[in-house]
Structure 1
């Protein structure tokens, strides 16, 4: 796959595969959506995770040198939309599993707020 790779592309792939699955019912579309979801978590050309389901954060992309560690709104939204697309289309229906990922609240919050009582 060419570089730079961005979260928006993975989300768009999941959305397209979801539409194809709904239209055809063919399991290959759920498998391809699952592969695009796993891209966020390190099943990519660099074997590096870009997203964290526990925090909802997502880095801006994958470059030939590694992860672009900026965390922009577009990337975070793409990750959240991808999560909800997978949940709505495949996970709730039991078509694919969450691949051992935690079911986390995907709203980002500052680290300090996470540790206050």
Structure 2
């Protein structure tokens, strides 16, 4: 994937895969959505987590030099909306990727991000 990578792109991928899954019923779309979800948690080109479910925060992107540590509203919303898309489209329905169960830790609901000064 070319750089820079942003949370909005991972969220959009999850939503697109969800629509493809609903339309086709093919399990590969669940696996691809799971791959996009894992991007937030460090399964990406730099093996660095951008999101933290415990704080609800998400960094603004991944660059060739690492994580852009700015935490903007668009990124936080993308992370939370990605979680809800995964939950609504796959987890509540009990759909798991072909390779095995999705890690329970990655299904932790992000808390509402607190504003810090």
Q: Cα gap change, 1:109/1:95 in structure 2, threshold over 3 Å: closer, same or farther?
A: closer
**Matching residue of 1:11:** 11
Partners of 1:80 and 1:106 within 8 A in 2? no
Runs of 4+ in 1 over 4 A off after TM superposition: 97-117
Q: Could you report, residue by residue, the CA deviation over 1:42-64 in whole angstroms, capped at 9, with x for unpaired residues?
A: 00000000000111100000000
TM-score by length of structure 2 reads 0.83
Partners of 2:80 and 2:110 within 8 A in 1? no
- For residues 94 and 107 of structure 1, what CA distance do their matches in structure 2 show? 12
SS in structure 1 of the partner of residue 105 of structure 2: coil
Q: Cα gap change, 1:80/1:110 in structure 2, threshold over 3 Å: closer, same or farther?
A: closer
Superposed CA RMSD in Å reads 5.2
Deviation at 1:96, TM superposition (A): 2.4
Larger Rg: 1
Partners of 2:10 and 2:37 within 8 A in 1? yes
Partners of 1:56 and 1:107 within 8 A in 2? no
Number of aligned positions between the proteins: 117
TM-score by length of structure 1 reads 0.83
Deviation at 1:65, TM superposition (A): 0.2
- For residues 112 and 26 of structure 1, what CA distance do their matches in structure 2 show? 33
Partners of 1:58 and 1:76 within 8 A in 2? yes
Partners of 2:31 and 2:97 within 8 A in 1? no
